[in-house]
Amino acid sequence: MTTTPPFGTALIGQTEKTLNAILDRQLAGTGITEPQWVTLTLAAAGGGSVDRAELIRRVSAATKAGEASVAERVAELTAAGLLRDGGDGSIQVSEAGQARWTRIRTALGPITQGLWGDLPAEDLAVAGRVLSTVLERADAVLAAPAPGPRPDVAGLAASIRGRTLLPGDEGFEEATSGFLMTVEHHPAVVVVAADADDVVAAVRFAAQTGRPVAVQSTGHGKSVPADGAVFIATRELRELSVDPRARTARIGAGLRWDEVIVAAAEHGLAPLCGSAAHVGVMGYLTGGGLPLTGRTYGFAADHVRSLDVVTADGLLRSVSPGREPDLFWAVRGGKSNFGVVVAAEIELLPLRTVYGGELSYPGEDPRHAAHVLGSYLAWAKEQPEEMSSSVTLLRFPDAPQLPEEYRGRSLVQVRVVHTGSGEQGARLVEPLRALGPEKDTCGVLPYAEVTEIYQDPKGPVTAHLRSALLRELDDEAVAELVSLIDPSAPGGPFPGVELRHLGGALDRAPGRPHAVSTQGAAFHLWLRMPAPAGRADTARRTADQVLERLRPWDTGAMLPGFLFDPDSAPERVRLAYTEANYRRLAALKATYDPDQIFRVNHNIPPVTGDAAS
Ligand SMILES: Cc1cc2nc3c(=O)[nH]c(=O)nc-3n(C[C@H](O)[C@H](O)[C@H](O)COP(=O)(O)OP(=O)(O)OC[C@H]3O[C@@H](n4cnc5c(N)ncnc54)[C@H](O)[C@@H]3O)c2cc1C
């Protein structure tokens, strides 16, 4: 069954919801109404005899149910004779429990039959995923390392203005979740920081207790599980002020770009945001920040004036070109390897409007798609720095859940953002219009609406994200890319590959040097494969195949801001920096974080002495 569900995660979510409802109904016949209780029983059955407290902790961690309610359910199962108290803190599965487990397993067969029988063909793939979700949850419980003893956070809790949350506490789950659902965090403690002092206290607590520090704002870049870590949630660091005369903004680490865009727009000013309004400011800036207007203004990191960073020694440092320039350089590109940024001061641009929008072309006929893509590439090469653009190729499934206009379609979508006058923008876009788009939204729009050009998803998504930096693309590259969306080619629907045009100011040495660089690439490639439970391997394999096919044009480099969970190995992280920058980062890591307290990230291990040169 090769049908891939549609892209819109909302649609996928909706279908899964329906299927989960069917699953729940079927499970009701087994006396267990929620998948997580199936997990509990599976865990108990699989474990034979287990430590009661440990079982409760593991099930709580895996299902996100509070420990108290898991304990209650364990008591119920014991009272029902399905579990047997061993009397020494252990718990065993009774014969009745084993029988229940056998019944559940038997019940899963008819459920599969039921789902397959009840559903239209295009939902079968989703049905399979729902079942594997249940089984994966069970596996996760059995495989999860036993959480260590709960840390004693009483002293920390008493010393901060914010909150500490332990597993099972209300708010713990919400604080550790976020946009990307692919990665789950199971930290030892969450510190919801209310101010910079809280961050200092959390980092010191981590150092004293020998735990790593993880930091998260929105979860758009969730990559490395923060298991056992002191997890600093920055979302309540809400400082935001705009100085219209100086054209600067001071921004707390909990802000998202849409909030800064709105505040700046009140003064006719603009921050250098990327395609998604809900991305967090600090994750983006510490990754360099590839803005929608990048060819005009360069990386967003070029426009950072100063940063307040809490380093591994528990000190709050204000860094800028004049104060600790090495650290200032490293944090812009080195992400959270050097500390937790609590606030940033950035430059704003006097940009009230841009000329921009989307031009969408039919892509079913490979010859036409190749003509459009080839013409776009030739066009992009000729563009002045005021014009930033991207092209996305996608092939939708013929699924009834999709809006009519997308069903079974292949599309080539060009998006443009021009920072000069509207007239000039319209003139530059003329050759793209001459290619006959079936949709054209280009026009003058307020900068405050610039992210609407891309319409990135706002809700949580489960996706396998990959990126690469590509050289100039020739006719063979065009043929490879177009074959991804050719309806007659094997491989089925394709969720889309985006190529963002680089060059212009992105290739100039920044006024305030940082660790980020395009490494001379012509395009940034971004692949977003939906990867709901049960389909992660397929998504990874498809992404591998696409990248393999594009290898002749792959520079082998990446941008630090587009490293995701498949890129957490040190050799992948290395690709995001030039050789010289990586060596300098590794040496600075040895200065600022020799004990690797900041290792729950795309880690740059410290290197000292000769090895660093
Ligand atoms: C839909 C979407 C669209 C995107 N578009 C663009 C784009 O146009 N241009 C672009 O450049 N990038 C883009 N990105 C990538 C994005 O910039 C990174 O994923 C970024 O890390 C997200 O930051 P966050 O704070 O929102 O995420 P989080 O998951 O909260 O943080 C991600 C990582 O950033 C670091 N970090 C976060 N906060 C801090 C802090 N206070 N101090 C130190 N380190 C911190 C940590 O390493 C953390 O693990 C996009 C990502 C998504 C999912």
Tell me, using a 6 A CB cutoff, whether residue 335 lines ligand 1.
Answer: yes
Q: Within this chain, do residues 99 and 189 fall inside the same structural domain, yes or no?
A: no
Q: Which of 202, 233, 264 corresponds to the end of one domain?
A: 233
Give the position, in ligand 1's atom list, of the atom nearest the Cα of 564.
Answer: 19
Q: Within this chain, do residues 97 and 175 fall inside the same structural domain, yes or no?
A: no
Tell me, using a 6 A CB cutoff, whether residue 290 lines ligand 1.
Answer: yes
- Confirm whether 380 is domain-assigned: yes
Give the position, in ligand 1's atom list, of the atom nearest the Cα of 216.
Answer: 30
pLDDT above 90 for 41 = no
d(CA 225, CA 355): 40
Q: Within this chain, do residues 172 and 86 fall inside the same structural domain, yes or no?
A: no
Tell me, using a 6 A CB cutoff, whether residue 526 lines ligand 1.
Answer: no
* 485-504 tens-digit pLDDT: 999 988 788 888 999 999 99
DSSP 8-state assignment for residue 178: -
Q: Within this chain, do residues 426 and 457 fall inside the same structural domain, yes or no?
A: yes
Q: Which of 115, 143, 171 corresponds to the end of one domain?
A: 143
- Confirm whether 3 is domain-assigned: no
From 217, 310, 331, 564, the mutation candidate for ligand 1 (largest count of ligand atoms within 8 A of CB) is: 217
From 184, 195, 215, the mutation candidate for ligand 1 (largest count of ligand atoms within 8 A of CB) is: 215
Q: Name the region of 455 (left: φ>0; alpha: ψ -120 to 50; beta: rest).
A: left
Q: Within this chain, do residues 424 and 490 fall inside the same structural domain, yes or no?
A: yes
Token look-up 């039919």 returns 362
* 51-86 tens-digit pLDDT: 788 777 776 665 566 777 778 777 877 887 777 888
Q: Within this chain, do residues 52 and 106 fall inside the same structural domain, yes or no?
A: yes
Nearest to 383 by CA among 285, 464, 307, 294: 294
Q: Within this chain, do residues 75 and 166 fall inside the same structural domain, yes or no?
A: no
Whose C-alpha lies nearest to ligand 1, atom 19?
Answer: 221
Q: Within this chain, do residues 501 and 548 fall inside the same structural domain, yes or no?
A: yes
Q: Work out the pLDDT band at 13, boundaries 50, 70, 90.
A: very low
Tell me how many domains the chain contains. 3
- Confirm whether 35 is domain-assigned: yes
Q: Within this chain, do residues 555 and 410 fall inside the same structural domain, yes or no?
A: yes
* 156-203 tens-digit pLDDT: 999 999 999 999 899 998 999 999 988 989 999 999 999 999 999 999
pLDDT above 70 for 6 = no
Tell me, using a 6 A CB cutoff, whether residue 217 lines ligand 1.
Answer: yes
Q: What is the mean pLDDT of residues 205-217?
A: 96
- Confirm whether 593 is domain-assigned: no
CATH number, domain at 481? 3.40.462.20
Whose C-alpha lies nearest to ligand 1, atom 47?
Answer: 336
Q: Work out the pLDDT band at 611, boundaries 50, 70, 90.
A: low
Return the minimum-mean-pLDDT range out of 14-28, 477-491, 546-560, 574-588. 14-28
Distance 516 CA to ligand 1 centre (A): 14
Structure tokens, 320: 């800028």
pLDDT at residue 240, as a whole number: 98
- Confirm whether 553 is domain-assigned: yes
Q: Within this chain, do residues 162 and 221 fall inside the same structural domain, yes or no?
A: yes
Tell me, using a 6 A CB cutoff, whether residue 333 lines ligand 1.
Answer: no
- Confirm whether 148 is domain-assigned: no
Are 161 and 194 within 8 A, CB to CB? yes
CATH number, domain at 26? 1.10.10.10
pLDDT above 90 for 89 = no
Give the position, in ligand 1's atom list, of the atom nearest the Cα of 280.
Answer: 26
Find the helix or strand (DSSP H, E) in which 49 lies: strand 49-51
Tell me, using a 6 A CB cutoff, whether residue 253 lines ligand 1.
Answer: yes
Q: Within this chain, do residues 186 and 77 fall inside the same structural domain, yes or no?
A: no
d(CA 373, CA 478): 7
Distance 284 CA to ligand 1 centre (A): 4
- Which domain covers residue 425, as residue numbers? 353-566
pLDDT above 70 for 351 = yes
3-state DSSP assignment of residue 48 = coil
- Confirm whether 267 is domain-assigned: no
Q: Within this chain, do residues 118 and 189 fall inside the same structural domain, yes or no?
A: no
Residue 73 burial (CB count, 10 A) = 21
Q: Which of 215, 233, 251 corresponds to the end of one domain?
A: 233
CATH number, domain at 229? 3.30.43.10
- Confirm whether 199 is domain-assigned: yes
